[in-house]
Amino acid sequence: MSIAFTFPGQGSQAVGMGRDLAEAFPEARAVFQEVDEALNQPLSKLMWEGPEDELTLTANAQPALMAVSLAAIRVMEKEGFRLQDKVAYVAGHSLGEYSALAAAGTFSLSDTARLLRIRGNAMQAAVPVGEGAMAAIIGLEAADVEEVCASAAKGAICQIANDNGGGQLVISGARSAVEEAARLASERGAKRAIMLPVSAPFHSALMGPAAERMREALAEVQKNAPAVPVIANVTVSPLTDPEEIAARLVEQVTGRVRWRETVEWFGGNGVHTLYEVGSGKVLTGLARRINRDLNAVAVNTPADIEAVLKAL
């Protein structure tokens, strides 16, 4: 039986994130300083003091979440932890896949921060504000949601963006189509169909320009084989080849985050414990709903890190 590390995605950010790590550990402070320098921005000040609406902006939230995850990893490494000695796989939810790859050594910390800033800006710029939308559909199976999206599309883009498990799917695309799909989902028996307060239709075909920008950016950075395989969002398969990893990251911009299948893959491939490294506990909650046999543990405070180091 083995262990996997998972890394959270957008929505797990909160004002104050990572501050306790920075106060407790010089290794964590060094991570936040390096990210600030890579972005030429006092991002850590925004993370710890807000304002929340500025932290929530995609271009800020993405590198900020990565920084907290990597701060926790660096603290563990200072205590002698080596990913390849204790962990079989890594995976991350959307932007968290970049955090996973940084933790596994595929990208440097500075390059990961810059890639996520490019990704956030490119995703925001791909569609004029107001033209795209996303909605959470609770309580319908994926096949039913796919049918609802097809019925609502009428030539526009409307697709499943995230299959988060536990009966939670997120759809994305043109605003009119997503609104119609949400209405149809409610008629079909969804427990809830909620329009989300997001600024762009992430993980939809409308993100095509952002995918091309990421193809360019990923071609320019140093890429190493990860210390352990990464389970890619779009293929739910273990990858170790740097060029294939980059290709799947490009695909991920417009493709579905297959998180339910990822957790199921772990359960079917000998993983018994998932540690969620970084801000919040979203993935831990999802894992418990998807597969109750998995031990799911959130790691984001000094006490959490101490407990994990003892358990590993």
Q: Is 272 a catalytic residue?
A: no
Q: Is 220 exposed, middle or buried (0-12, 13-18, 19+ CB in 10 A)?
A: exposed
Using the structure block, give the residue that is written with the tokens 């003091």: 49
**Angle between helix 142-153 and helix 175-188 axes, rounded to 10 deg:** 130
DSSP labels, 28-97: HHHHHHHHHHHHTS-HHHHHHH--HHHHHSHHHHHHHHHHHHHHHHHHHHHTT--HHHH-SEEEESTTHH
Query: CA-CA distance, 208 to 275, in Å (whole number)?
Result: 32
Cα distances (Å, whole numbers) of residue 48 to 23, 33, 99, 105: 11, 13, 20, 26
Query: CA-CA distance, 142 to 65, in Å (whole number)?
Result: 28
Of 99, 203, 204, 279, which one is the catalytic site residue?
203
Query: CA-CA distance, 18 to 28, in Å (whole number)?
Result: 8
What one-character DSSP code corresponds to residue 166?
T
Q: Is 93 a catalytic residue?
A: no
Of 94, 172, 204, 279, which one is the catalytic site residue?
94
What one-character DSSP code corresponds to residue 257?
B
Sign of the dihedral through C-alpha 69, 11, 260, 95: negative
Active site residues: 94, 203
